[in-house]
Structure 1
Amino acid sequence: MNRRFSLRAAALSLSALLLAACSTTQQPPEPPQETVTAPHFEPDSFAAMPAVSQEDWLAAFNAFRTSCSALRANSPFHNVCTIALQTPKELAQAFFEANFAPWRVSLGRFEAGELISRDETGLATGYYEPLLRGSRTKTPPYVYPIYGVPDDLLVIDLAELYPSLKGLRLRGKLEGRRVVPYDDRAAIQKRTDMDRWAIAWVDDPVDAFFLQIQGSGRISLPDGSFMRVGFADQNGYKYRAIGNWLVKNSELKAHELSMQNIRAWAKKNPAKVRDALAQNPSFVFFEERTGHPELGPLGAQGVPLTPLASVAVDPKHWLLGTPLMLEVHQTRPALDFVRPVVAQDTGAAIKGLIRVDYFWGFGDEAGREAGRQRSDASLWVLVPSGLKPEDIRPGRGR
């Protein structure tokens, strides 16, 4: 019995060893580390950055003080706003250098919490406040409408049902008892009942289209006065540039895509304009705005924009009122500058961490500059002394 027991025990031990060996040699490989993309910030210094003119520092200083009027008392910028309002304009540069620290912005790739690479380059485009010719009534040549918000546009705030979806809204209309997506641009162009919601009429359909891209503008009226209009709402579709359609249909070449060239193409091809514009399903509705003619239009922060010192940003990444340093570079046509700016606006096409729309100002000259800009962009965020970039991210200090 003892001998049999010993043999059996030995056999069991050998089997266990063999199974252990098999399990060791046949273990599945470890799954690859998940790569995560996230904002990354590195401290920098003003001394190491390119020189900025006193004029540009002053423009940014004025823009920041304007933003301070809209920032709440518990904003992370509260203390520096107090200092800014007490600082003479002649000390604009000294104010920033004494009260902020620059942090280089990049989009980092992380594995197991370790930074493995980063991308410091994004995109900067330009926008401006255009001047259109028009009338409050439909009278030739003013026959192209600028629509206010239609009564049949429904806006559903999802956060009321699902708090985790804060900031997300659905836009649609009633069809019987069902809520369906609102009309896209092509459908709106075909509707015959929209005129009742027009707040103005202009003499050029392309001007009306570009007004929607800019988000605000002024309309010169026949009596010599003007009305100012600004973004009121949107039909719920994502913005899609018409440039791809123009290139695909051999109307323009890729390197020719600019606001000026698209305008020139439209004047030569009036029969094709409607189809070209319909390629962008997004449609913007406006409201009449008041405001001093020497001040810029209101941005999303609710304060007037400052020419050459205001930018539109993605509000998922940036708290409005945040000062930034913007460096742009492009070769065709040439455009290079480094300027302090303030995040004061948003836009349907402005999505991403290093993605800005630079405000050039009012009128034709500003329009020429904005129309030619499509630049590589680098950003530094200017963080109040004693804080870190994560302290001034959206959702903090509100």
Structure 2
Amino acid sequence: MIRVWAAAILIWGSVTAPLFASDLTHTLLSFEELQGWDEDRHEEALEVFLNTCPDMRDPDWRSLCALAQQRPPAKSFFELFFRPVKIEDDRRPLFTGYFEPELNGSLTPTVRHRYPIYREPAEAKAANPWYTRQQIETGDFMRGYEIAWVDDPVELFFLQIQGSGRIRLPGGRMIRVGYGGSNGHEYRSVGVELVRRGVYKAHQVSAEVIKNWVRRNPVEGQALLWHNPSFVFFRRIDDVPSDQGPKGAMNRSITTMRSIAVDPAYTPLGAPVWIEKGGATRINRLMIAQDTGSAIKGPQRADIFFGTGAEAGRQAGKLRDPGRMVVLLPIQRAYAMLSEQL
């Protein structure tokens, strides 16, 4: 899911730029050092790896993908042909979560469905920046660019945060929309704004808290959403069945609790990544790096995909935990990386 603004940006604002490569350290680990490795369902991770590894271009990855397509025993496959490498700098590890929203909508406007999802006009594509969020939502120059109409302006705002989602039409049919462009304005965090106003403390702010506050305070809430001038346009995505996950940065469907968004400057897209997430609910699991996000910066930073719908959103919105992530690299690549460090 190519999200323009991840949940961490929504609440905490911009993220520090990556450090220079010379500030990185690479530590080779054994599989015995991975907490919970033996208890994971490795065959699930292998299936997710197979979903995107054919698109990896480097020869070592292509060779391993060809071998994986023969469906070897999953745990042995990873242990024989990969080595765990912890890549880190001086930034603290951080795991957050994201999800695919599901909204109620219609292909035509109704009394209930009054809030349009727009595709990008050519004028917006040519200009940088274009009109602000408030101007787009209150002007009359967007007629004819509607993809669908939904029943909740707050959920529509958060659909733009995630960058893609599903729309449930009357009768139950689903359509999917994905990121189709933006108005070019810099994002302003509404969570940070609530903290600045003294409405909440920083540790109290979450997506659900923001939604509830906007709904309880409709006039001030609308002004709060307009505080963010950035606006996202969408496009219909009709080539992904509604029972599959949304497309990630590798242009393939991502998988609930097995796909993560990473910083590709440090973690190759398509690579297996061992996750050890701390916090109240611990997760020790092999996942696949199949997505990216604007807030995902650094070698120990990942966004876990929680799935589709309201419950997935609640779980993802609560997640902000420490831990450790370890990239599984092809053996020769892992040792070459270590030798370059010496």
Normalised TM-score (structure 2): 0.85
Q: Compute the displacement of 1:207 (Å).
A: 0.6
Report which structure shows greater RCO (CA 8 Å, sep ≥6): 2
Match of 1:387 in 2: 333
**Distance change in 2, residues 1:214/1:241 (3 Å):** same
Q: Give the partner amino acid of 1:128.
A: F
Cα distance in 2, alignment partners of residues 275 and 389 from structure 1: 54
Cα distance in 2, alignment partners of residues 186 and 375 from structure 1: 34
Q: Compute the displacement of 1:368 (Å).
A: 1.5
1:235 aligns with 2:206: no
Q: Give the partner amino acid of 1:125.
A: T
**Distance change in 2, residues 1:44/1:389 (3 Å):** same
Identity of aligned residues (%): 39
Q: Compute the displacement of 1:142 (Å).
A: 0.9
Choose the corresponding residue for 2:67, options 80, 83, 86: 83
The CA deviation string for residues 68-121 of structure 1, in whole angstroms up to 9 with x for no partner, is 23223x454111101111124xx22222111110011111xxxxxxxxxxx363
Q: Compute the displacement of 1:319 (Å).
A: 2.7
Choose the corresponding residue for 1:66, options 51, 66, 72: 51
**Distance change in 2, residues 1:303/1:99 (3 Å):** same
Range 264-273 or range 197-206, more displaced: 264-273
Match of 1:169 in 2: none
Q: Compute the displacement of 1:144 (Å).
A: 1.2
Q: Compute the displacement of 1:57 (Å).
A: 2.4
Cα distance in 1, alignment partners of residues 146 and 51 from structure 2: 32
Match of 1:140 in 2: 111
| Corresponding residue pairs, total | 317
1:298 aligns with 2:247: yes
Q: Compute the displacement of 1:189 (Å).
A: 3.0
Cα distance in 2, alignment partners of residues 220 and 36 from structure 1: 45
**Distance change in 2, residues 1:381/1:297 (3 Å):** same
Uncovered stretches (5+) of structure 1, i.e. residues with no partner: 1-34, 108-118, 155-171, 174-179, 392-398
Q: Give the partner amino acid of 2:318.
A: R
Q: Compute the displacement of 1:267 (Å).
A: 1.9
**Distance change in 2, residues 1:319/1:186 (3 Å):** farther
Find the residue that maps to 1:371 and give its secondary structure. helix
Uncovered stretches (5+) of structure 2, i.e. residues with no partner: 1-19, 338-342
**Distance change in 2, residues 1:339/1:384 (3 Å):** same
Contact 1:238 1:348 survives alignment (8 Å): no
Choose the corresponding residue for 1:219, options 153, 158, 167: 167
Match of 1:128 in 2: 99
1:376 aligns with 2:326: no
Normalised TM-score (structure 1): 0.74
Cα RMSD for the two superposed structures: 2.2
Q: Give the partner amino acid of 1:96.
A: F
The CA deviation string for residues 132-158 of structure 1, in whole angstroms up to 9 with x for no partner, is 00111222211112111222123xxxx
Q: Compute the displacement of 1:203 (Å).
A: 0.6
Q: Give the partner amino acid of 2:321.
A: S
Contact 2:117 2:149 survives alignment (8 Å): yes
Q: Compute the displacement of 1:37 (Å).
A: 5.4
The CA deviation string for residues 15-36 of structure 1, in whole angstroms up to 9 with x for no partner, is xxxxxxxxxxxxxxxxxxxx98
Find the residue that maps to 1:295 and give its secondary structure. coil
Q: Compute the displacement of 1:278 (Å).
A: 2.3
Q: Compute the displacement of 1:224 (Å).
A: 2.2
Choose the corresponding residue for 2:257, options 308, 328, 332: 308
Contact 1:70 1:303 survives alignment (8 Å): no
Cα distance in 1, alignment partners of residues 88 and 82 from structure 2: 19
Q: Give the partner amino acid of 1:355.
A: R
Cα distance in 1, alignment partners of residues 95 and 187 from structure 2: 16
* Alignment of structure 1 residues 150-189 onto 2, 5 Å: 150-154=121-125, 173=127, 180-189=128-137
Q: Compute the displacement of 1:266 (Å).
A: 2.0
Q: Compute the displacement of 1:366 (Å).
A: 1.3
* Alignment of structure 1 residues 271-290 onto 2, 5 Å: 271-290=219-238
Match of 2:303 in 1: 357
Q: Compute the displacement of 1:47 (Å).
A: 0.6
**Distance change in 2, residues 1:152/1:140 (3 Å):** same
Cα distance in 1, alignment partners of residues 36 and 318 from structure 2: 24
**Distance change in 2, residues 1:93/1:106 (3 Å):** same
Choose the corresponding residue for 1:39, options 24, 38, 55: 24
